[in-house]
Amino acid sequence: MRLFIPDDKPLGIRPEKLLRKIGELDFIKQHQCSIHSLAAFEKSIYPEDWRDLMRLYLVRRTRTFIKENYAKTDPKTGKKYIEFEDGTTSYFPDRIPKNVLFKTECENDQYSRLYSQSITDKINELALPRYGLGNYIAVQPQKEPTQQESKIIADLSRAGKRLMGFSRISLFKRLESSGSSFLKSLNRHILRNFTYIYALENNLPVPIGPQDVEILDSDYSDNEDDITQNVLFEDEEGESGDKNNNEIDLQCFDEKSCKQKAELLYNIFSTKFKKRFRWLNSFHFTPSFKKNLLKDARNLLEILSANPEWNPAKDAKLKSLIFLCKEKHKNNKILIFTQFADTAKYLEENLKNAGIEKIASVTGNSENPAASAWKFSPISNEIDDKRILENELRVLIATDVLSEGQNLQDCSIIVNYDLPWAIIKLIQRAGRIDRIGQKADEIICYSFMPAEGIEKILNLRGRVAQRLRQNAELFFEDESHKNSIWKDLYNEKAGILDGDEEDEVDLGSYAYQIWKNAIDKNPKLKNIIPEISPVSYSSKSIAVNNKLAEGVLVYTKTGDENDMLTWVDKEGKIATQSQLAILKAAECKPETPALPRNEKHHELVKIGIEHILEEEKSAGGQLGNRMGARFRVYERLMDYAANIKNTSFDTADLHKTIDEVYRYPLRESAKDIINRQLKTGISNESLAELVISLHEEGNLCIISEDELPKKPQIICSMGLF
């Protein structure tokens, strides 16, 4: 976006959630940029803020939006379709949810053992010390940390319990995905724990890997959080290494073998792959660190000893998938989704062993995922390369690395081998093949479910969520109200996969469609609307049980020609400045009756305008260095204004002066005067008098005539009562 948007260009919107969290003044102190700029949005970690920004510049129209606003209806079948300029049509296929059931409660069955309460309890009881390293730093170590070590320790403290929460969730997700992936993950956890223990027992530096949530959350990565396995087969440049020299058997069944392999692994980490880690001396950790590492490792070894290896020949879930690919849909293209690379590799290997040909897998480690997509769906990708066509795929196994941005509509069958924890993921996966060019009338979306009922999974997830809340490891919302959605999926309810994220429609498309739908129904509006004079207003009712805040919506064109919307509640507080939320609130049908103007309407509009003017600054937020005269005088005047609010000292001149300091740079002469007075310890009251006098004399800030703000214009307002 920086290619065409300057960092300081006023955007007319701001990162709402970030500013609610830290406050506007604290934001300015920390970041020194306009709250309405692209630079301000770059400081936000909240997806909601980025969605608001993207709606201004990206064109995105969802399936539902297109069906409702652009599609026609076939009078014979009732199906929706799009007609293109050349007369060709593209119908919207029906998404048909279907289940593949596998048993988890057979006597002595692999899945039965893994889904047992005892294993769930063991995972919930894990301390996971490697993901909470900051909790084990010694307050008084043998030696003071070096500067580099101090930085590492500070980073560990920031990771907190959140990383531990994602690690716990990751284990349970792998359990749901595949017994094979789960056991591999346990083995890596054990071996990595013993690698740390080896370092601690021998007073060696501890190898610290990435401490980011993204390495654990399957929404970001399909690979194991540890690089324990992958690192053995790569050289420093990331290319494949000599496996004959590096490969070791990582399987562990007892402490003795784990300690032997941990020593070998530590030596590899500390030599060939030393640059992959940060290193912290062992004496910086408390004794409880080793104690919890060993306790976790022993608990996980108990699970492995009861389930020494995963036997594909006895994998009921795998057998059901083989039947699906080899018998039920033996002549159809099938796209199989899983959350994890381990599961994808496991499925590819065993489907090939079952005699299924023309098959491949794509994960985050794949060199070129698009190449596999072309082989799997050459028609939709308009591939005419004979080399690709000769190697066309019938079955493609993929993690969610392939769930966006690829044309895969040569296929009409999707299989969800494991269930993501958010139903929107299933909808997004269906969208990979439900695209323009899909020829099938129906898209079949299979989901693997326990034969004993969806409650098997829901109860497991419920126990995990309870643990996370108790330990405050993650902010985990109570999503029990969403269980009905998963039950509908289990019962193969029609339409369950038809939804999408409606709010993801870009703002321009949404606003334009409101206008287009209105003038299509009533062409006279084309002439009526432009003739309405500024400062027009109206009111409508909202339902008593509606969550919307009563108040007014205000639409203003600012002096800088920015269109701004704001929502003021009946108490005079800003409800939101989210453009999409305000548009949705303003939307009403032509037959909606208008209400008489509320007695507080104009008063609330005034508050909204004042708020917009306060925020609409030509160079807002750019106050310079925190120790500079401009920043310091602005902060002092703001404190003074807050303390004298609603007194006789709270004058218009004071606020004009504060506004001028915020907008424009100080003159050099003003800087000298202010700096001298600041050194003397001048009081806020005396400082205010000084700066106001400089303002009145025209000696405070550098203001050119061209920079003077134009008067804003109220376009219209709507009351909600």
Average pLDDT of 99-107? 73
Distance CA(419)–CA(411), nearest Å, equals 20
Rounded to whole angstroms, what are the CA distances from 14 to 7, 184, 236? 13, 45, 43
Instruction: Please determine, for residue 335, whether its predicted confidence score (pLDDT) is greater than 90.
Output: yes
533 against 226, higher pLDDT: 533
Q: If you search the block for the tokens 């030393």, which residue do you land on?
A: 274
pLDDT bucket at 197, cuts 50 / 70 / 90 = very high
Of 576, 580, 572, 658, which is closest to residue 617 (Cα–Cα)?
658
pLDDT in tens, 610-622: 887 766 544 344 6
Instruction: Please determine, for residue 49, whether its predicted confidence score (pLDDT) is greater than 90.
Output: no
Distance CA(548)–CA(543), nearest Å, equals 9
Instruction: Please determine, for residue 397, whether its predicted confidence score (pLDDT) is greater than 90.
Output: yes
Lowest mean pLDDT among 7-16, 85-94, 485-494: 485-494
67 against 503, higher pLDDT: 67
Query: In this predicted structure, what is the pLDDT of residue 667?
Result: 86
Question: Who's near 437: CB < 8 A, 6+ residues apart?
Answer: 90, 379, 380, 407, 409
36 against 465, higher pLDDT: 36
Instruction: Please determine, for residue 473, whether its predicted confidence score (pLDDT) is greater than 60.
Output: no
The one-letter amino acid at 27: F
Distance CA(623)–CA(53), nearest Å, equals 24
Among 35-49, 321-335, 387-401, 419-433, top mean pLDDT goes to: 321-335
Average pLDDT of 351-363? 94
The one-letter amino acid at 542: I
Average pLDDT of 626-633? 80
315 against 103, higher pLDDT: 315
pLDDT bucket at 106, cuts 50 / 70 / 90 = low
Query: In this predicted structure, what is the pLDDT of residue 216?
Result: 37
Mean pLDDT of the chain: 81
Q: Phi and psi (nearest 5°) for 448?
A: -80, 130
Instruction: Please determine, for residue 697, whether its predicted confidence score (pLDDT) is greater than 80.
Output: yes
Among 158-162, 280-284, 494-498, 679-683, top mean pLDDT goes to: 280-284
pLDDT bucket at 521, cuts 50 / 70 / 90 = confident
User: Are 48 and 580 a contacting pair, CB within 8 Å?
Assistant: no
Q: How many residues does the chain have?
A: 721
Average pLDDT of 334-351? 93
Average pLDDT of 421-429? 80
Instruction: Please determine, for residue 693, whether its predicted confidence score (pLDDT) is greater than 90.
Output: yes
DSSP letter assigned to residue 494: T
Share of the chain above pLDDT 90, in %: 27
pLDDT bucket at 195, cuts 50 / 70 / 90 = very high
pLDDT bucket at 321, cuts 50 / 70 / 90 = very high
Average pLDDT of 510-538? 88
pLDDT in tens, 210-256: 644 333 344 434 555 444 444 433 333 333 333 333 445 667 778 89
Instruction: Please determine, for residue 56, whether its predicted confidence score (pLDDT) is greater than 80.
Output: no
Q: Other CB atoms closer than 10 Å to residue 205's CB: what's the count? A: 18
DSSP letter assigned to residue 225: S
Query: In this predicted structure, what is the pLDDT of residue 553?
Result: 94
Q: Where are the beta strands (DSSP E) in 420-573?
A: 442-450, 536-540, 551-557, 563-569
Distance CA(49)–CA(13), nearest Å, equals 10
536 against 61, higher pLDDT: 536
Q: CA neighbours within 13 Å on the CB side: how many for 626? A: 8
Query: In this predicted structure, what is the pLDDT of residue 412?
Result: 94
Average pLDDT of 440-446? 93
Of 456, 716, 487, which is closest to residue 609 (Cα–Cα)?
716
Q: Other CB atoms closer than 10 Å to residue 201's CB: what's the count? A: 12
Distance CA(542)–CA(525), nearest Å, equals 24
Rounded to whole angstroms, what are the CA distances from 170 to 211, 240, 423, 584? 15, 27, 17, 37
Instruction: Please determine, for residue 294, whether its predicted confidence score (pLDDT) is greater than 90.
Output: yes
Average pLDDT of 476-491? 59
Of 612, 580, 628, which is closest to residue 620 (Cα–Cα)?
612
Share of the chain above pLDDT 70, in %: 81
Query: In this predicted structure, what is the pLDDT of residue 581?
Result: 83
Average pLDDT of 514-543? 88
Instruction: Please determine, for residue 492, whether its predicted confidence score (pLDDT) is greater than 80.
Output: no
